[in-house]
Amino acid sequence: MGKLDHLWTLQCIDSRERDLRRELETLGIKREIEELEARLAEKHRELLELSRRLQEVQRGIKEGEFAAGENERKQRELEKRLYSGSTSSARELSQMERKMVTLKEEAGDLEEGILALLLEQESLEKEEEGLRAILQELAAELAEKQAVYAREAGELEEELEFLPAEREKLLPGIEEELLLLYQELSASKRGQAVAAVRGDLCLGCRISLPTNIVSLIITNEHLHTCPNCGRILYYLGTK
């Protein structure tokens, strides 16, 4: 085993971790779930608004029915007084008759108002029923997608979980100076501190390395960096 072998394994672990995290972030199903959640929230809001309006309408119907009851009671009382013969004053009688006309007009308006509210109630209830069905469908779809996500993400997370332990095991086998350089390069080269070399090609920047450098790195015993990209070179073979 060359001196750089552990470092190369470390690079592979770190790259794998980065890839796994990226994959987790970009799982297509995640975006679908977010979209579904947004639609669900919107439908919930619609339902809430609808329920509020429905309550208002129902309150309106009750109030209307109460007022109609009151109106009926007043009409009956007035009728009793009109036909009981207790009043013979023509002026009073005509006053009562005018009052009766007003009460009947009011009753007609109340009835119309109640009817309109009853119709609105019916249509709101239908709308509410439809919304509830949509919500149920969306919730089922969401649960399904969440299950798929859990499965897909679970596999990635499972692999991610054991990587830190693998990494820890490697560290004692790497010289401190080498590790420091690795960390430095990792930070400046987007996580890719070690570049594999195949034949004479640096896979970090795709340039051909001078023959003398290739001959120096073949054993992976000595630290050499790519003259072009500056990464630590690790020789993988001719092909």
- The Cα 138–Cα 141 span in angstroms is 5
What's the Cα-to-Cα distance from 163 to each of 11, 156, 187, 224, rounded to whole Å? 12, 11, 19, 27
Are 40 and 135 contacting, i.e. CB atoms less than 8 angstroms apart?
Answer: yes
> Cβ of residue 231: shortest distance to Zn ion, in angstroms?
5
Residue type, 99: K
- The Cα 209–Cα 200 span in angstroms is 5
In this chain, which residue has its C-beta nearest to Zn ion? 226
Please report, as ranges, the residues that interact with Zn ion according to CB under 5 A.
Answer: 202, 204-205, 226, 228-229
- The Cα 227–Cα 220 span in angstroms is 17
DSSP E strands, 25-165: none
In the complex with Zn ion, the residue whose CB is nearer, 39 or 224, is: 224
In the complex with Zn ion, the residue whose CB is nearer, 185 or 226, is: 226
> Cβ of residue 22: shortest distance to Zn ion, in angstroms?
23
In the complex with Zn ion, the residue whose CB is nearer, 13 or 229, is: 229
In the complex with Zn ion, the residue whose CB is nearer, 53 or 224, is: 224
In the complex with Zn ion, the residue whose CB is nearer, 185 or 202, is: 202
Count of positions (residues) in the chain: 239
> Cβ of residue 159: shortest distance to Zn ion, in angstroms?
29
Are 197 and 233 contacting, i.e. CB atoms less than 8 angstroms apart?
Answer: yes
> Cβ of residue 12: shortest distance to Zn ion, in angstroms?
18
- The Cα 216–Cα 233 span in angstroms is 10
> Cβ of residue 214: shortest distance to Zn ion, in angstroms?
12
